[in-house]
């Protein structure tokens, strides 16, 4: 018969968060494959390849090296010149970020490389009818401008994040390329020939079947591709990373067709998806990347997709002969962040440092919804003086037996109750941090009699375990609720959290109960965790 586990091991097992199942070696969808980033962090050469491929996928918010590789193949299939210029651009931008010693995580996740990819691809596309194809001057310019895009991204990125609370979506690419085209078109020079202006699309009647078949074309135009095979490869690349992202992107394509029909765009333009790529990017950004995908964010993303597509059509007439680039996407999406933050605070954005795949955001939203809804039910019960649901009462007998063994071992005087001093050392030996220890000791004595009963001890340990098992996801979701950044959750911000998961605002009785549980102190994050455990 094996000896019983030491007390500290038993206690650690009781309070340890429920472990998530180990990730499978191959799963679908692939998501952002952050485990690969961790494995390659100490392997510079492979990590550079990883960062480069992620930069390609990040153009359409697919932070995945496999997706990036498939998209690169698609661009080479579309045109070897386009593929070469795109590769030159993303490598140059990534290398410049490393040379500047910018944030390693941002570099590794392709945040700087995506602007280089777009710069290289835009130059490859623009120069193909002139003296661009295989011209070393164009290649050298792509290297310089892609590196410059990294500098602009770094310079403007901080301002966008701190002042506008938004990612600098496409700003670096648009700024660099707009200046380049202004110089090439309006300044006399002989280095860069864009060739003759393309002939306008002929006026013709709409072919409904052809229009339906061209629905996903806007997705290919994100990467300057209009071939069938490149388009299929791009669809696969996005789908293996984020199926939700692919669905939202295709919704953006459909909405771009509606915008084109509404504004009288020429059929040939719509067949090629020329007004769809900005709609695709806007729909994806709002409908699943910077907000968790739900009916509200997808509806808002659809509105932004229409505005971005309409903006593309209008700007194309105003800017000619300059290209539209992704200016409509940048203006509409950043403007959407600004408006939503001021008018719909209950639509909680994803914390910028935690932007991942729509599937991960949806999972965080589900966890936050469960925790907040449980808290709401408990708060309502407390305000009505009803008995709260007890985890201890519902715990299986095996767990209660382990809790009893721990309790009895700590209860040295066998009084049937513990003083905080009796359990302090044991909780610390179980690996609970000093801050968690202080919080748990305050929470354990629920009836404030200075002693801790077995039921109080078991209930709080089980509540602590349940909350900590989802702490990271809940905390990451909840961070942007503190909109004013004062580290205190106001009642208005709490109500925004409630609305964000479909709950009604707190009633006056529930608000009073919440303030009572906070003991009249500001509801800081630690105090909120305490309230969650006590309620």
Q: Output the CA–CA distances (angstroms, integers) from residue 251 to 261, 306, 392, in the order listed.
A: 16, 10, 47
At residue 25, the pLDDT reads: 45
Percentage, residues of the chain above pLDDT 70: 87
> What's the mean per-residue pLDDT of the chain?
85
Between 20-29, 69-78, 104-113, 421-430, the lowest mean confidence (pLDDT) is in 20-29
Question: Could you give the CA distance from residue 440 to residue 458 in angstroms, rounded to a whole number?
Answer: 12
Q: Which band of pLDDT confidence, cut at 50, 70 and 90, is reported for residue 3?
A: very low
* Residue 436: strand, helix, or coil: helix
Question: Could you give the CA distance from residue 531 to residue 517 in angstroms, rounded to a whole number?
Answer: 6
Q: What is the pLDDT of residues 208-241, one digit of tens each?
A: 899 999 999 999 999 999 999 999 999 999 999 9
Tokens representing 130? Answer: 């002139």
Residue 107 has pLDDT above 60, yes or no: yes
Q: Between these two residues, 519 and 261, which has the higher pLDDT value?
A: 261
Answer whether 294's CB lies under 8 Å from 142's CB: no
Question: Could you give the CA distance from residue 378 to residue 376 in angstroms, rounded to a whole number?
Answer: 5
At residue 296, the pLDDT reads: 93
Between 188-202, 389-403, 439-453, 461-475, the lowest mean confidence (pLDDT) is in 439-453
Tokens representing 26? Answer: 């191959």
Domain spans of the chain, in order of start: 31-193, 242-349, 362-534
Radius of gyration of the chain (CA): 28
Greatest mean pLDDT among 2-16, 445-459, 477-491:
477-491
Answer whether 175's CB lies under 8 Å from 125's CB: no
Average pLDDT, stretch 257-286?
94
Provide CATH code, domain 31-193: 1.10.3430.10
Residue 207 has pLDDT above 60, yes or no: yes
Answer whether 115's CB lies under 8 Å from 150's CB: yes
Tokens representing 92? Answer: 């140059």
At residue 24, the pLDDT reads: 46
Average pLDDT, stretch 363-377?
85
At residue 279, the pLDDT reads: 97
Which 3-state string (H, E, C) describes 262-323? HCCCCHHHHHCCCCCHHHHHHHHHHHHHCECCCHHHHHHHHHHHHHHHHHHHHHHHHHCCCC
Answer whether 309's CB lies under 8 Å from 275's CB: yes
What is this structure's pTM? 0.85
Average pLDDT, stretch 123-141?
92
Q: Which band of pLDDT confidence, cut at 50, 70 and 90, is reported for residue 449?
A: low
At residue 293, the pLDDT reads: 93
Q: Output the CA–CA distances (angstroms, integers) from residue 297 to 271, 304, 389, 481, 527, in the order listed.
A: 28, 10, 33, 16, 30
Q: Between these two residues, 10 and 359, which has the higher pLDDT value?
A: 359
At residue 1, the pLDDT reads: 37
Question: Could you give the CA distance from residue 431 to residue 8 in angstroms, rounded to a whole number?
Answer: 9
At residue 431, the pLDDT reads: 59
Q: Which band of pLDDT confidence, cut at 50, 70 and 90, is reported for residue 401?
A: confident
Average pLDDT, stretch 501-508?
87
Q: Between these two residues, 468 and 243, which has the higher pLDDT value?
A: 243
Burial code of 257-273, b = ≥16 C-beta within 10 A, e = fewer?
bebbeeeebbbebbbbb
Between 74-78, 316-320, 394-398, the lowest mean confidence (pLDDT) is in 394-398
At residue 429, the pLDDT reads: 62
Answer whether 17's CB lies under 8 Å from 436's CB: no
Greatest mean pLDDT among 256-270, 347-361, 366-380, 426-440:
256-270
Q: Which band of pLDDT confidence, cut at 50, 70 and 90, is reported for residue 12?
A: low
Helix-helix angle 44-58:80-99, to 10 degrees:
120
Four-way CATH pick for 362-534: 3.40.50.2020, 1.10.238.10, 3.30.70.360, 3.40.50.1980: 1.10.238.10
Average pLDDT, stretch 18-42?
74
Answer whether 297's CB lies under 8 Å from 288's CB: yes
Answer whether 249's CB lies under 8 Å from 308's CB: no
**Phi, psi for 524 (deg, rounded to 5):** -70, 175
Tokens representing 245? Answer: 């992202």
Answer whether 368's CB lies under 8 Å from 473's CB: yes
Percentage, residues of the chain above pLDDT 90: 50
Q: Which band of pLDDT confidence, cut at 50, 70 and 90, is reported for residue 441?
A: low
At residue 380, the pLDDT reads: 79
């Amino acid at each position: 018969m094996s000896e019983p586990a030491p007390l500290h091991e038993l206690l650690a097992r009781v309070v340890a968060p429920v472990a998530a199942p180990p990730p499978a070696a191959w799963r679908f969808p692939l998501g952002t494959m952050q485990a690969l980033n961790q494995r390659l962090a100490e392997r510079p050469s492979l990590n550079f390849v990883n960062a480069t491929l992620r930069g390609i996928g990040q153009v359409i918010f697919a932070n995945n090296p496999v997706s990036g590789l498939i998209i690169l193949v698609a661009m080479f299939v579309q045109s070897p010149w386009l593929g070469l210029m795109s590769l030159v651009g993303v490598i140059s931008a990534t290398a410049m970020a490393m040379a500047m010693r910018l944030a390693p995580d941002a570099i590794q996740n392709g945040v700087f490389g995506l602007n280089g990819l777009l710069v290289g691809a835009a130059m490859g596309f623009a120069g193909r009818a002139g003296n661009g194809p295989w011209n070393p001057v164009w290649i050298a310019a792509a290297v310089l401008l892609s590196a410059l895009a990294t500098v602009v991204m770094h310079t403007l990125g901080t301002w966008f994040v701190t002042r506008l609370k938004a990612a600098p979506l496409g700003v670096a690419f648009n700024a660099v390329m707009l200046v380049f085209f202004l110089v090439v078109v309006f300044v006399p020079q002989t280095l860069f020939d864009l060739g003759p202006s393309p002939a306008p699309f002929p006026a013709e009647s709409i072919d409904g079947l052809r229009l339906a078949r061209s629905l996903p074309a806007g997705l290919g135009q994100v990467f300057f591709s209009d071939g069938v095979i490149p388009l299929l490869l791009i669809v696969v690349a996005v789908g293996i990373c984020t199926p939700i992202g692919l669905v939202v992107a295709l919704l953006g394509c459909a909405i771009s067709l509606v915008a084109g029909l509404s504004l009288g765009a020429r059929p040939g333009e719509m067949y090629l998806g020329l007004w769809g790529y900005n709609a695709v990017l806007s729909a994806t950004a709002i409908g699943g990347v910077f907000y968790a995908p739900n009916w509200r964010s997808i509806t808002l993303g659809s509105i932004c997709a229409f505005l971005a597509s309409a903006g593309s059509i209008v700007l194309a007439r105003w800017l000619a002969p300059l290209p539209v680039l992704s200016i409509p996407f940048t203006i509409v999406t950043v403007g959407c962040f600004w408006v939503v933050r001021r008018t719909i605070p209950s639509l909680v954005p994803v914390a910028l440092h935690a932007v991942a795949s729509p599937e991960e955001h949806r999972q965080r939203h589900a966890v936050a919804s469960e925790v907040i809804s449980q808290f709401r039910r408990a708060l309502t019960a407390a305000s009505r003086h009803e008995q709260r649901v007890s985890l201890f009462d519902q715990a299986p007998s095996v767990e209660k037996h382990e809790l009893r063994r721990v309790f009895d071992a700590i209860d040295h005087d066998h009084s049937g109750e513990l003083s905080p001093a009796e359990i302090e050392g044991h909780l610390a030996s179980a690996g609970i941090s000093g801050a968690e220890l202080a919080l748990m000791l305050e929470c354990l004595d629920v009836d404030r009699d200075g002693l801790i009963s077995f039921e109080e001890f078991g209930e709080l340990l089980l509540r602590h375990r349940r909350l900590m098992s989802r702490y990271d996801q809940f905390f990451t979701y909840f961070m942007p609720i503190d909109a004013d950044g004062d580290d205190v959750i106001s009642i208005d911000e709490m109500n925004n959290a409630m609305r964000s998961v479909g709950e009604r605002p707190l009633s006056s009785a529930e608000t009073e109960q919440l303030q009572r549980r906070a003991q009249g102190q500001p509801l800081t994050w630690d105090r909120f965790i305490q309230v969650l455990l006590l309620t």
